[in-house]
Chain A
Amino acid sequence: KNQVEQSPQSLIILEGKNCTLQCNYTVSPFSNLRWYKQDTGRGPVSLTIMTFSENTKSNGRYTATLDADTKQSSLHITASQLSDSASYICVVSIKNQAGTALIFGKGTTLSVSS
């Protein structure tokens, strides 16, 4: 069964601190892995997309890593800001003859406090 598991479920950190969110997946056939940020009351917005051959990708203070052998990914946030408070969702894309579908993790809720 295609699954995406994220940890921790929630996280509280102080402004300025770093944090790392984890994602494990069992998905086949793997196409790519994405990290989305979802602010309260909004739809998810893509942060990074990585293919099988990519190990790391950065988007500003966000850095995602991918280990395709262990089927793990992480999202590292550097020097957190209050605006980073949101849900971060790991999404794995599968692509077959029928088309493409996205398998979502349940997300990690990050709260950044001053």
Chain B
Amino acid sequence: DAGVIQSPRHEVTEMGQEVTLRCKPISGHNSLFWYRQTMMRGLELLIYFNNNVPIDDSGMPEDRFSAKMPNASFSTLKIQPSEPRDSAVYFCASNQETGTLSEAFFGQGTRLTVV
């Protein structure tokens, strides 16, 4: 398996533009997580899905952020309109819940720069 695949790896956009980040989880995994990482705040959970259903989106910072998981193999995180303070690395992770020791695997991340 190729692991969790995120695209694009890097995104530079102007303030006010719409940004869409994409994630393909590992086949067979039933949970998907979106995280944001900055130097100041570390890794923050934005939202997670279980069996394609959003379970907890309390970490989504504002209404400008939205996430979807239309099927088990694809998820998007959208920011509209983007702002410079959204600049960060966004990680997607997936795992297969098989009891207590389910392992989460991370993608390589998307580095977003909003200018």
Partners in one complex: yes
Chain A residues within 8 Å of B, Cβ to Cβ: 31-32, 34, 42-46, 49, 51, 89, 93, 95, 98-107
Contacting residue for B48 out of A31, A34, A89, A101, CB 8 A:
A101
Number of A-B residue pairs at CB separation under 8 A: 62
CA distance A102 to B94 in the complex (A): 11
Chain B residues within 8 Å of A, Cβ to Cβ: 4, 31, 33, 35, 41-45, 48, 50, 55-56, 91, 93, 95, 97, 100-104, 106-109
Give the interface SS of chain B, mostly helix, strand, loop or mixed: strand
- Contact across chains for B42 and A49 when beta carbons are under 8 A apart: no
Contacting residue for B109 out of A31, A34, A43, A89, CB 8 A:
A43
- Contact across chains for B41 and A106 when beta carbons are under 8 A apart: yes
CA distance A86 to B107 in the complex (A): 17
- Contact across chains for A43 and B108 when beta carbons are under 8 A apart: yes
- Contact across chains for B56 and A104 when beta carbons are under 8 A apart: no
Query: 17 other contacts beyond A101-B45, A102-B33, with CB at 8 A cut-off?
Result: A31-B100, A42-B109, A43-B91, A43-B93, A43-B108, A49-B103, A51-B100, A51-B101, A89-B43, A98-B55, A98-B56, A99-B48, A99-B56, A100-B31, A102-B104, A106-B42, A106-B43
CA distance A95 to B31 in the complex (A): 12
- Contact across chains for B43 and A104 when beta carbons are under 8 A apart: yes
- Report the minimal beta-carbon distance from A21 to chain B, rounded to whole angstroms: 14
User: Which residues in B have their C-beta under 8 angstroms from that of A104?
Assistant: 35, 42-45
CA distance A43 to B110 in the complex (A): 10
User: Which residues in A have their C-beta under 8 angstroms from that of B93?
Assistant: 43, 102
- Contact across chains for A100 and B56 when beta carbons are under 8 A apart: no
- Contact across chains for A46 and B31 when beta carbons are under 8 A apart: no
- Report the minimal beta-carbon distance from A81 to chain B, rounded to whole angstroms: 23
